[in-house]
Amino acid sequence: MLLIPAIDLKDGHCVRLVQGDMDQSTVFSENPADMALQWVNKGARRLHLVDLNGAFAGKPQNFSAIRAILKAVGDDIPVQLGGGIRDLDTIEKYIDGGIRYVIIGTAAVKNPGFLKDACSAFGGHIIVGLDAKDGKVATDGWSKLTGHEVVDLGKKFEDYGVESIIYTDIGRDGMLSGINIDATVKLAQALSIPVIASGGLSNMQDIEGLCAVEDEGIEGVICGRAIYSGDLDFEKAQARADELNG
């Protein structure tokens, strides 16, 4: 079970939002590269970056901060990145720059043809981010709820050749209210590609709950506000996950 620290970038700083609201942001570090190195030194084996400005602008906005993070952590730690990725040129730029996995969210739902082309051109490097509330997928920084069922889209994107799916329960994100394990398992059981849990991680109980269902196809969990607020000790949590699942 991979515990994947999230570094959300806004105006070059590391922040956390409450339920995706750009007006409810807390700055946790003025230097995201130092923050990335801190998580690696505490045992992180992958990092999750989000270009928040990019997500809302529809194009990359924090490239210098991303480049600094990649330089700080080196080639040994895979870095996945989402936010504002809408074309193949952007994907190519990021992968050439050292990003291991590119996360496509809104564009995957609105423009499936683009996702298909991305999987074809950059096989093994494309992750889809599915953000949902009550089983329905949301887009545009969570501001629009679609009629699409999470499982239906997951199956469709699996057929396209995506590497894995990040499933975020947006009703819980940033709220420290606990991972929606049941919904995550439901999606994982419907797919043969790995699912990464996200949204609401709050304590060690969540980690143990996810480890108990890891065999259903859950590869990891995005760690956000809880590891920044101190509600969850990242180093101890990763050690516990390793102890439970090896």
**Catalytic status, residue 233:** no
**Catalytic status, residue 8:** yes
Long-range contacts of 241-246 (CB under 8 A, 24+ apart): 241/1, 241/3, 241/207, 241/210, 241/211, 242/1, 244/1, 244/208, 244/211, 244/212, 245/1, 245/211, 245/214
**Token output for 240:** 């516990």
Q: Strand, coil or helix: what is 63? A: helix
Residue of 51, 131, 169, 206 with catalytic role: 131
Tell which residue, 56, 57, 38, has the closest CA to residue 47. 38
Amino acid of residue 86:
R
Distance separating alpha carbons of residues 139 and 119, to the nearest angstrom: 20
Residue of 8, 51, 169, 173 with catalytic role: 8
Pairing of strands 195-198, 218-223: parallel
Amino acid of residue 4:
I
Amino acid of residue 210:
L
CA distances from 59 to 52, 117, 158, 176 (A): 10, 18, 25, 29
Which residues are the active-site residues? Answer: 8, 131
